[in-house]
Structure 1
Amino acid sequence: MTTIRAFSAEENMRRLKMQKSLTFIVVEGIDDVPLYESCLMMEAKAVDFDVIYSGGKKPIREFLASNKSTNAMFIVDKDFDDFTVTDSRVAALDRYSIENYFICEEVISHSVKFAISCKFRDAIEAFDLTEFTEKTTRAIETLIKVLFYYQRHAVHLVDSASKQSWSDEFLCGNNTWELSSDQINALITKLAPTARDVADAEAYYVRHFKCSGALINSFPGKMLKTSLQRYIRQQVIQIKPGAKGKYNNVEDMRALLSSVLHHSSSLKSALRSVVDFLASRNLGAS
C-alpha cells in the first residue's frame, strides 16, 4: 500500500515560504482540510491548488506579519478567539467553524434525499430544522456566554494546571437529541462556579460578543454534533420508517454531510473571496 505523505503544521508553513510558485489555501485544523478541499474544488474546478493546515490562528498571524507572499489565502474560524488581523489574504467565516455549516437545511436535504429516495425539493419540504434550532438556541443561551467569557478572558487569569477543558463535553440527554439541562449546568458550574462568575460572564458577553445571524451559528458546532445526528436520524425515520440504517452515529453523519457541504449557500458566500483568489491565480498562470 502506498504511504500518504503527511506534513506537520510547521512544515506546511515553511512550504508557503519556499514553494512560491504553488497556490495554497491555509486552514486552521487538519480535520478541516478535506472539507475545504471538497468545497473549493466544486467552485474552482480548473485550478490547481493545495489545501494545508496551520495548526491554529497564531502561525497564521505570524506569517501575515512577516511575509508578503501572495500565493496563499488563509481561512480562519470565527470561534471565540479574536483574530484581530485585517489582511486581504484572509477570509473569515461568519460561523464558529466549518462544522456549523452542517446545520443547514440545504446541506442536510441534499444528503437526506438519498436516504429517503426522493428529489431535493421533496426532501427540503419534508425535512425541518426549526425544532432543532429553536430548542437548541434556548438551551445554550447562558452556556455560550460562559464559554465565550472563559475562553476569551477567564482562562488567561489562571495557571495552566488550573485550566479547564470544555470543547469535548457531551451535552445530549439520554436517548434524545435534545441537550440536557443537567449536562449544561454542570459545564457552566465547572467554568463559572459562582453566581458572580456567571454575572461577570454575561456582562463580558454583552460588551464583546459579536453575533452574526442565529445564535446557534456562533456556538461550537463540534459540541452539537451528537444532537444534530440524533435529530436527523429521528426526522429521517419519521419521513421514511424503513430508513433505519442511516445516520446511526456521528461519524456516518459527518461523512454523509461532508460530501454535500458545497451546497451550503452560506458557506459559498463566506468562501467567495477565496474562489476569486483561485480564479485570479489561474488567470495569472495561463
Structure 2
Amino acid sequence: MTTTRGLRNREKPITMLTAYDALTARLVDAAEIDLILVGDSMATTVLGYDDTLPVTLDEAVSHTAAVVRGTDDALVVADMPFLSVGVDDSETVRNAGRMLQEAGADAVKLESGPHTVEITDRLTQLGIPVMAHLGLTPQHVNQLGGYTRQGTTTEAAEEILSLARDHEEAGAFALVLEHVPANVAAEITDALEIPTIGIGAGPDCDGQVLVSSDVMGLTEDQPPFAEQFGDVAAAMSESIDSYREAVESGAFPADEHSHVEESVDDLTD
C-alpha cells in the first residue's frame, strides 16, 4: 500500500493517474499505479464543462468517495476545487478536512502559490497531508491567459523553485510540476528532498502523472505533453454499435437472456 512517507524511498519512478469513479479506480489500482488523483479535471473529462472552475466542493467530495470505494492499495489524493482553499482559513481547513473525513481520501492537492504556504503548514499540522502543485495551475487560467508553459524565464523559474522550497518546508509531502521546461523541473527535483511528479515537465522528475482519459484515448484534444496508450474510445464505440445492431435485428435478447415462468397463467384468459 502506498503511503506519503513511502514515496520518498521509491527506487522506481512514481506513477500517478486520475480517476473520478469506482470503476476506473479499480482498474487503475489493479494496474499497481502508486497514486490516484481525483482531479478537478473531472470538470472537462466527465462533467462536460469547458474548464475546471465550475467544479463544486460537494462534487469533488462525491467523486473522491467513489474513487476511495474502488481503491485498495493506491494512495488517493483529492484535488481541492476553485475557491475551496484560501478564501478563509477556517473554511479552508473544513473543506480539506471533508476530503479525508467524509470522502476517505489520503491527502489533498492544492494549486499552490505564495498564498498556500501558510495553508500547507496549517493543514499538515492538523494531520491533512498536502501535495503542492506549481507551474501551470489550471484554476488560474483566466489570470494566465491560457494553458501556457510556465517557468520559461530565469526569473519565473527561480520563483517556482523558491515556492517549491517554501512548500517543502511547510510540510508538503510531494510536488506536482506542470508544463514547465524539463531543465527547470530537473533542477527543482535536485533541490528538493520531497518527490516531484511531473506532467509536461520532462523525464527527470521523481514520477509522472497524466489524466486517465488522455492515456486511454478518450480525449479528442490532448495537451501537447500527453500520450495516448490505448484506444478505449474505439472499443466503446464498437460495443455500442454492436448492441444497437443486435437490438434492431432481433438478435438481442436471445433465449439465454430471457426467462419463462411456466407457473404463470395465461394473462389473456
The two structures share one fold, judged by TM-score above 0.5: no
Give TM-score scaled by structure 2 length: 0.27
Higher fraction of strand: 2
Give TM-score scaled by structure 1 length: 0.25
**Structure showing greater relative contact order (alpha-carbon pairs closer than 8 Å, 6 or more residues apart):** 1
* Higher Rg of the two aligned structures: 2
